[in-house]
Structure 1
Amino acid sequence: MMLESATPLLVETTGYVNVTDLLKKRLENSPQLAAFERPRITADTTTWHEITVAQFEQQVMAVAKGLVANGVGIGGNVVIMAQTQYEWAVAEMAIWYAGGVVVPIYDTSSVAQSAAILQDANARVAFAGNARQADILREASHTIGKELSVYSLENEFVELIDAGDFLPDAEIETRRLVANQADVATIVYTSGTTGEPKGALITHQNLLGQVLNIGATYTDVIWEGGRTIIFLPLAHVLARGLQLVCLANGMKIAHLADPKQVVPALGVLKPTFLVVVPRVLQKIQAAAGLAARKKRIGPIWDRAVNTAITRARHLEEGTTPRFALRASHAIFDRIFFARLRALMGGEIGYLLSGAAALEADLALFYRGIGVPVVEGYGLTETTAPVTGNLPGSEKAGSVGIPTPGSTIRISEQGEVLAKGIGVFSGYKRPEHNAEAFVDGFFRTGDLGTLDDSGRLTLKGRLKDVIVTSGGKTVTPAQWENIVENDPLVAHAIAVGEGKPFLSSLIVVEPEVLANWAAEQGEQEIVDIVRAQSNKIIELDNQRLRDAISRTINRANTQFSRSEQIRKFIIVIADLSVSGGNITATMKLKRQVLLGKVSAIVERLYTEPYTGGTR
């Protein structure tokens, strides 16, 4: 088994001063190309209007002048706290044009979280997406005793543009060129499922290297004239990297702040690819299954899913499916698959999945219906992807080979180590760097293996490894991923550190659960879901336990006795970001949730175990 894999750099960053040159070169090549689609919302309708590269750059220049006029100095940190929107893109590029450093704050952050970032970054100027976010930033700055100028994105930068109108373009052009590739472009504070956020220093070279090499590698996905919708939080480095890649390569970008708006917009905007997190893919599949069950054709849908997965395995292995499978697929395509593709706009060539592990059968399902998923892997500290599958050679369950200019090494402990063009220069506070690197490689904290082709497969988090009282070491991530493929299950958390056997906390998906309960005639569960609010409630309904138990038993068959789950408890929990149980990128705050239900989990080991899965 391979212990190290590397991919050479495809495109050097020479010829670029800093990230702003991506926009300048696009402006030189195609100033009238549509770079963005921006919504205009009225009481009745939402219409979309194109913004050209030249119009975007003109607005960036005007806002940059306003920032300079209001005291933003070279290397000054400027905060953006806003939901995903076109104005985010303007603000970010304007900060760089003014010679500043971008400091994003998730739009769902609390006053305390915002204050910690403002204090650490020593920011004096901020953009807010709306009045609520502006109030949070002002209150946060007040708590740390610092002055903060807050500008709203809602007024389209009018205040800033008026303030800087007197400055000549030449002054901004001088400012734009001050930063070189080694300088910090952005400080990204890790959203963190545990522990205090740490400020990752990402340089202009990190961003340039990723944008140029990802664009050169994924030409089947990213091409001039293509279209995408960004609905991931722009405070996350993955969404910002995507935005820069699209801008540099002439793809048109639309922004949506609310993921619930995405499906209705797909038919209008007709994206050619989307970047999603696995939970979105699970919800689309679950919604299709629910619709089939409501029409009393659930068993037919289940056969269709199996057919799609089987067909995808043939595509992956390069083998020819038998006539019966081809015929079944053609029938199911007319009944289900074509409608799903139409629901996604009808023109998507690829889905790109990141930010969390994607269960292999889910990836195979989408490939089998004609919308292949390209899964990759990366972290804030690697400036988004450090590995990725390549279009046409996807391997379900794997996160692919190192991206150009990257090296992956597996340590003796099985930890994934990363080095390359996208790996950041370190954290803002020196003490955070003490254990972050080894032999020049960044320690990701993830466990993984490399196959003979250099493909990385993730095995879970190093800190989530469980050692039972019998001395068995278990990495539960793969078991959890399989169980989470059940539409009812939002999160499966294996527990058992220092215990004689493994158990699990099953967190159910509230919306899916309510629909399931209504179908089953379980009105009590429907009422519980409706009244749940932000509470964590244990569910002890036998029909629900039986349904979950079947999923757990199927998963258990794929693992050794010591890795199997013997007991479980089902809870319903608030899975909104504001509920505090998940991050802005929909990752579970595992230890936070377990801390809230510690008494419930402990009962799994105080009640007698009589064998079987309970």
Structure 2
Amino acid sequence: MTASENPSHPAAAPTVAATPPDGMLHAATPQTVDIEQTRNVTELLMQRVRTAPAHIAFETRPAGQPLTAPWEQISTERFARQVSEIAKGLIASGVRAGDTIMIMAQTQYLWAVVDHAALFAGAVVVPVYDTASAAQLRSIISDSRPVHAFVGTVTGGERLLEAAAAASNGSAPHAPQVSVLSTESPQPQPQPPSQRAATGAADSAGIGSLATLIAGGVHVTDAELEARRLGASLDDVATIVYTSGTTGDPKGAQITHRNLVGQVLNTAAAYSEVVRESGNTVLFLPLTHVLGRALQLICIANGMRVAHLSDPKEVVQSLAILRPTFLVVVPRVLEKIEGAAAASATEKRVLPLWRAAHRTALAWGEFLETSDRDPSAHAPAGLRLRRALFDRVFYRRLRSVMGGRLDYLLSGAATLRPSLATFFRGIGVPVIEGYGLTETTAPLTGGRPGSLRAGSVGTPLPGNAVRIADNGEVLAKGVGVFAGYRNEAHNADAFIDGYFRTGDLGSLAPDGSLTLSGRLKHVIVTSTGRTVSPEQWEQTVEQHPLVAHAALVGTDRPYLTALVVIDTEAATAWFTDRGDAPASALSASGLVVCSDGRLLEEITTAIDRANAAVSPAERVQSWRGLVIGGDRLDEFVTPTMKLKRQALLTESEPIISELYR
């Protein structure tokens, strides 16, 4: 019996929602773990070394090998030894306590090693997406001034050094030492001097390897390293995470050792049956993102085995090989799994049967949610029979595709459609919905096993509190809330009465569970005075498998229109299944309007469904289908697959103007 099928599962500790004298709805959960005896983040690993040195902490795939090749197992002790070697190299290279060290690389095992090595050396870690634009890199380097940087490739190192030179703005250049995440020495590909001068390319000869760095630290003693490791206190800054910039320039959020230790230990305590020594996970979220990094720390501190994947396209194939017990995903991944199941049923000509199975999964998921609240509830006999039948025909196969051992999924980074959470619970893979931001060190609230509710992102995690302001904004306070932005000007409007202003809109239920309803900055006010929250319409359209993103438009306009971003991969497969030639726009570069009648007719069904779900004044009167070429995808979509709304609206202004002619 899976966890989702056990209605007698114990409920989470209660969280109190109340209305204090200031009138704001409030919910809080006290800390369950005393963190004051933990010196800093490095102790999370060292405690594991002392108690379980031989336990397998990581699984790694040899470079260039397929997923099916044997994965190497790395013990906690071996991981700590590699961390110490690189930390000594950093100390020998001149890194001082409090210096900043940048990591700009894809998700991989060595990311975890150098992250911890920097902390062991007493440094502050600055993670940066390897897809960051030159302007973003210049801004981050200028603000954080790293003394050392780890990059995934020589090319990445050259880009970073170019940005560092540009960030100097005519003053003495601030060029960090750069090491490539490889134990092999990088092989520079020098350009002719004339070409190098023309392109401003960095000198790759100045980029070293981990092997070189390690060799330089052999004379640093264990005592020197230990003194450096223990130098930082809980209230010192451990990392500066720059926001992804969906609404503007990146801002440096200062996250302390207290934030990380408090979140790791208390979150793990809240999910003790999920995060356990006998469990394992596949981590493919960007480690630059605070959610991926927090999850990794939780796993290290609790002995949960981690395997890394840098290519999200390999995730589904990897599940049957690595067989995780727990997985963190973004909603788009779940949508693709659901869509792939429907497509497979269509191909096998059993679509009507699949639709019946889908309805049954939804009904079963709804029953399980009811039974969480009322353990005496009983499912109708007919529903039990249908569920048993479809489990043999469909659900068991879907669980097998996901590895066959998943106890829970955690969905984060974006809003999850409630019916999708209900569906996955109905097939035997319950989804924990959580909510958090960079500024809350990832998890602020989360559903608990035994009290999951589709559409809710759960109650505050231990040590955290939530308030709802008069305008509906979610306010946050607690152990995870960061120490503020580096630029003091960014803090002016970021806090109110000691609470961080998240910018999200939400409501609290009597049990303290939070439901989100949109972004404060996304609210549309038309020229007629109508106020519209776009999320419901957009999420309905985005349920269509050919749609990647939807953006409602209408601020200071007389009526609503929309931009619909087409999923090029899904659309190409759709044409192939039909035996048709794909629309030419699907292979175009840049941002282009798609005028293919076949695609637009198919997507119109999603537009009609969304319009039918809202009031007449909230319906879209015209729209355009857009395709974003791979060469510009990073400009409009974050690494966690969220739409950079303002960037899209700004670039599409001529298209939007046409919609109002």
The TM-score with structure 1 as length reference comes to 0.95
Alpha-carbon separation, structure 2, partners of 1:524 and 1:580: 24
Kept after mapping to 2: 8 A contact 1:574/1:581: no
Matched, 1:260 2:260: no
Change in Cα spacing, 1:236 to 1:576, as seen in structure 2 (3 Å) is farther
Q: Which amino acid aligns with 1:316?
A: E
Kept after mapping to 1: 8 A contact 2:104/2:151: yes
Matched, 1:140 2:163: yes
Partner residue in 2 for 1:369? 427
Partner residue in 1 for 2:112? 89
Q: Which amino acid aligns with 2:602?
A: A
Change in Cα spacing, 1:575 to 1:299, as seen in structure 2 (3 Å) is farther
Matched, 1:280 2:333: yes
Kept after mapping to 2: 8 A contact 1:577/1:586: no
Counting only pairs closer than 5 Å after superposition, residues 171-570 of structure 1 correspond to structure 2 as 171-318=224-371, 319-525=377-583, 527-529=584-586, 531-541=587-597, 543-570=598-625
Partner residue in 1 for 2:13? none
Kept after mapping to 2: 8 A contact 1:78/1:124: yes
Deviation of 1:517 after TM superposition, in Å, equals 2.6
Change in Cα spacing, 1:249 to 1:43, as seen in structure 2 (3 Å) is closer
Change in Cα spacing, 1:43 to 1:62, as seen in structure 2 (3 Å) is closer
Per mean C-alpha deviation after superposition, the further-off stretch among 34-43 and 440-449 is: 34-43
Change in Cα spacing, 1:494 to 1:352, as seen in structure 2 (3 Å) is same
Kept after mapping to 2: 8 A contact 1:41/1:47: no
Partner residue in 2 for 1:149? 177
Change in Cα spacing, 1:561 to 1:535, as seen in structure 2 (3 Å) is closer
Q: Which amino acid aligns with 1:63?
A: I
- CA displacement 1:465-491 (0-9 Å, x = unmatched): 011122111111122112212212111
Alpha-carbon separation, structure 1, partners of 2:574 and 2:479: 47
Q: Which amino acid aligns with 1:5?
A: A
The SS at the match of 1:324 is helix
Kept after mapping to 1: 8 A contact 2:253/2:485: yes
The SS at the match of 1:40 is coil
Q: Which amino acid aligns with 1:82?
A: A
Deviation of 1:114 after TM superposition, in Å, equals 1.4
Alpha-carbon separation, structure 1, partners of 2:563 and 2:64: 44
Q: Which amino acid aligns with 1:565?
A: V
The SS at the match of 1:80 is strand
Matched, 1:103 2:126: yes
Per mean C-alpha deviation after superposition, the further-off stretch among 397-406 and 548-557 is: 548-557
Per mean C-alpha deviation after superposition, the further-off stretch among 562-571 and 418-427 is: 562-571
Kept after mapping to 2: 8 A contact 1:31/1:52: yes
Alpha-carbon separation, structure 2, partners of 1:258 and 1:506: 26
| Count of matched residue positions in the alignment of Structure 1 and Structure 2 | 603
- CA displacement 1:201-242 (0-9 Å, x = unmatched): 000000000000000000121011210011000011101100
Alpha-carbon separation, structure 2, partners of 1:493 and 1:523: 28
- CA displacement 1:375-401 (0-9 Å, x = unmatched): 100000000010101112111111111
Deviation of 1:422 after TM superposition, in Å, equals 0.1
Matched, 1:586 2:634: no
Matched, 1:602 2:660: no
Kept after mapping to 2: 8 A contact 1:534/1:574: yes
- CA displacement 1:306-358 (0-9 Å, x = unmatched): 22112111111124332232222222222221111111111010000100000
Deviation of 1:42 after TM superposition, in Å, equals 5.0
Alpha-carbon separation, structure 1, partners of 2:336 and 2:629: 16
The SS at the match of 2:516 is strand
Change in Cα spacing, 1:590 to 1:77, as seen in structure 2 (3 Å) is same
Change in Cα spacing, 1:151 to 1:562, as seen in structure 2 (3 Å) is same
Partner residue in 2 for 1:40? 62
Partner residue in 2 for 1:611? none
Kept after mapping to 2: 8 A contact 1:108/1:578: no
Q: Which amino acid aligns with 2:281?
A: T
Alpha-carbon separation, structure 2, partners of 1:348 and 1:576: 35
Alpha-carbon separation, structure 2, partners of 1:576 and 1:41: 26
Q: Which amino acid aligns with 2:43?
A: D
Alpha-carbon separation, structure 1, partners of 2:542 and 2:64: 39
Alpha-carbon separation, structure 2, partners of 1:303 and 1:333: 12
Alpha-carbon separation, structure 2, partners of 1:418 and 1:579: 29
The SS at the match of 1:536 is strand
Alpha-carbon separation, structure 2, partners of 1:595 and 1:574: 17
Q: Which amino acid aligns with 2:149?
A: A
Kept after mapping to 2: 8 A contact 1:492/1:506: yes
Alpha-carbon separation, structure 2, partners of 1:204 and 1:499: 47
Kept after mapping to 1: 8 A contact 2:590/2:632: no
> Root-mean-square deviation (CA), in Å?
1.6
Deviation of 1:284 after TM superposition, in Å, equals 1.3
Matched, 1:121 2:135: no
Q: Which amino acid aligns with 2:491?
A: N
Alpha-carbon separation, structure 2, partners of 1:567 and 1:556: 11
Deviation of 1:260 after TM superposition, in Å, equals 1.2
Deviation of 1:578 after TM superposition, in Å, equals 4.7
Alpha-carbon separation, structure 1, partners of 2:412 and 2:612: 28
Q: Which amino acid aligns with 2:183?
A: N
Deviation of 1:291 after TM superposition, in Å, equals 1.6
Alpha-carbon separation, structure 2, partners of 1:572 and 1:110: 21
Deviation of 1:123 after TM superposition, in Å, equals 0.9
Change in Cα spacing, 1:551 to 1:323, as seen in structure 2 (3 Å) is farther
Q: Which amino acid aligns with 1:315?
A: L
Deviation of 1:85 after TM superposition, in Å, equals 0.6
The SS at the match of 1:446 is strand
Kept after mapping to 1: 8 A contact 2:589/2:630: no
Alpha-carbon separation, structure 2, partners of 1:576 and 1:460: 29
Alpha-carbon separation, structure 1, partners of 2:553 and 2:100: 42
Alpha-carbon separation, structure 1, partners of 2:606 and 2:154: 45
Percent same amino acid at aligned positions? 50
Kept after mapping to 2: 8 A contact 1:376/1:388: yes
